């Protein structure tokens, strides 16, 4: 793996984007209304902020920013696209944690939304974040060309909807036997939908903002796809081998839930070998960008090697 970026330098870049995303989300989630809005009820905004302004690595916005930077796109544009994407991610966590879904009381060591507030507020905070994402991605500041903003909007809807993230969540529940006979899910397809689609969207958003050529778009699409699988593969390995303190949640949750994962499918060694292979492929997918792909190369290495 060739990369001109040290782990420390990469960590700094990640932190900077995370801090900028946090600031931007804070502004986007203020109680102040925009034209066309009547009032932003305080309790709703409070619940939306509670689940969005909680730090985190902001990996999805980072992918949007890093992919856009390959084309020299101004950072504020990419940060807005990243913020829209993060709103979708945060809404999905709120809804996934609900009692009727994964029934989780804690998320990153803090009470989940329905525990901190109540179930109705949590559902509406999720609905609000989902809807706000589509408001943000259409804004003039994202790009001067309406066709670009429209392409970003549609791709976001596809990645997060029935053929992407929402569809992935119902497949995950079906795999647990929630709707009758338990059918072992197609792990690769499930991962592509439930977690992969949004991660890949970050890369695609950068390509759309950067008016990528067909070849460049295909390269980022391929990279995003590989990144998503590497992310999930590492996640599945962490659930088996990870340290609960570093994870901020108990390890072994997948096994306890009887989930089919990359690890149950390939074994620990097989999953690790696959992860190495994915990193190599991600590396070569970025070939068209030369050294400009180094940040994305480092990002793939980062998710593969992360401890939480």
Residues that bind its own copies (CB under 8 A): 33-41, 43-45, 48, 95, 98, 100-101, 118-121, 123-124, 126-128, 130-132, 134-135, 138-139, 146-147, 149-150, 153-164, 166-167, 169-171, 173-174, 178-179, 189, 192-193, 197
Closer residue to its own copies (CB): 44 or 240: 44
| Buried residues in 153-168 as b, exposed as e (16+ CB within 10 A) | bebbbebbeeebbbbb
Name the minimum Å distance from CB 260 to its own copies: 16
Closer residue to its own copies (CB): 14 or 165: 165
Name the minimum Å distance from CB 44 to its own copies: 5
Closer residue to its own copies (CB): 131 or 213: 131
Closer residue to its own copies (CB): 202 or 242: 202
Name the minimum Å distance from CB 163 to its own copies: 2
Closer residue to its own copies (CB): 169 or 261: 169
CB-based burial label for 35 (10 Å; 0-12, 13-18, 19+): exposed
Name the minimum Å distance from CB 77 to its own copies: 15
d(CA 301, CA 280): 10
In order, the DSSP letters of 109-176 are TEE-HHHHS-HHHHHHHHHHHHHHHHHHHTSGGG-S-HHHHHHHHHHHHHHHSTTTHHHHHHHHHHHT
Positive or negative, the CA dihedral 227, 236, 48, 173 is positive
Closer residue to its own copies (CB): 8 or 144: 144
Name the minimum Å distance from CB 267 to its own copies: 26
Contact 83, 21 (CB under 8 A): yes
According to DSSP, the residues that pair with 106 across neighbouring strands are 111
Name the minimum Å distance from CB 39 to its own copies: 6
Closer residue to its own copies (CB): 118 or 243: 118
Contact 211, 148 (CB under 8 A): yes
The contacts of residue 182 (CB under 8 Å, 6+ apart) are 175, 176, 258
Positive or negative, the CA dihedral 28, 89, 297, 240 is positive
d(CA 219, CA 212): 10
Closer residue to its own copies (CB): 183 or 243: 183
Name the minimum Å distance from CB 15 to its own copies: 29
* DSSP class of 107: E
Name the minimum Å distance from CB 8 to its own copies: 36
102-108 LR contacts (CB < 8 Å, sep 24+): 106/249, 108/54, 108/55, 108/56, 108/248, 108/249
């Amino acid at each position: 793996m060739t990369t001109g970026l040290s782990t420390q330098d990469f960590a700094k870049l990640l932190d900077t984007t995370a801090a900028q995303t946090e600031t931007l989300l804070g502004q986007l989630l203020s109680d102040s209304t925009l034209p066309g809005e009547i009032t932003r009820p305080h309790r709703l905004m409070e619940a939306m902020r509670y689940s969005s302004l909680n730090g985190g690595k902001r990996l999805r916005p980072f992918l949007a920013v890093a992919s856009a930077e390959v084309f020299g796109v101004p950072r504020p544009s990419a940060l807005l696209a990243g913020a829209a994407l993060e709103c979708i991610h945060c809404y999905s966590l709120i809804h996934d944690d609900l009692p009727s879904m994964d029934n989780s009381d804690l998320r990153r060591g803090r009470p989940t939304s329905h525990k901190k507030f109540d179930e109705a507020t949590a559902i509406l905070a999720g609905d609000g974040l989902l809807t706000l994402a589509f408001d943000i991605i259409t804004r003039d500041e994202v790009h001067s060309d309406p066709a670009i903003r429209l392409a970003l909007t549609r791709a976001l809807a596809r990645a997060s909807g029935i053929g992407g993230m929402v569809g992935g969540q119902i497949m995950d529940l079906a795999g647990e036997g929630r709707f009758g006979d338990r059918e072992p899910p197609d792990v690769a397809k499930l991962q592509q939908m439930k977690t992969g689609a949004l991660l890949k969207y970050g890369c695609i958003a950068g390509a759309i903002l950067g008016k990528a050529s067909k070849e460049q778009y295909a390269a980022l699409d391929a990279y995003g796809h590989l990144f998503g699988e590497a992310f999930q593969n590492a996640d599945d390995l962490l659930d088996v081998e990870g340290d609960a303190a570093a994870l901020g949640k108990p390890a072994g949750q997948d096994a306890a839930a009887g989930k089919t994962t990359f690890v149950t499918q390939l074994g620990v060694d097989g999953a690790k070998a696959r992860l190495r292979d994915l990193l190599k492929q991600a590396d070569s997918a970025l070939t068209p960008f030369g050294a400009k792909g180094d940040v994305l190369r480092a990002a793939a290495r980062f998710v593969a090697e992360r401890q939480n």
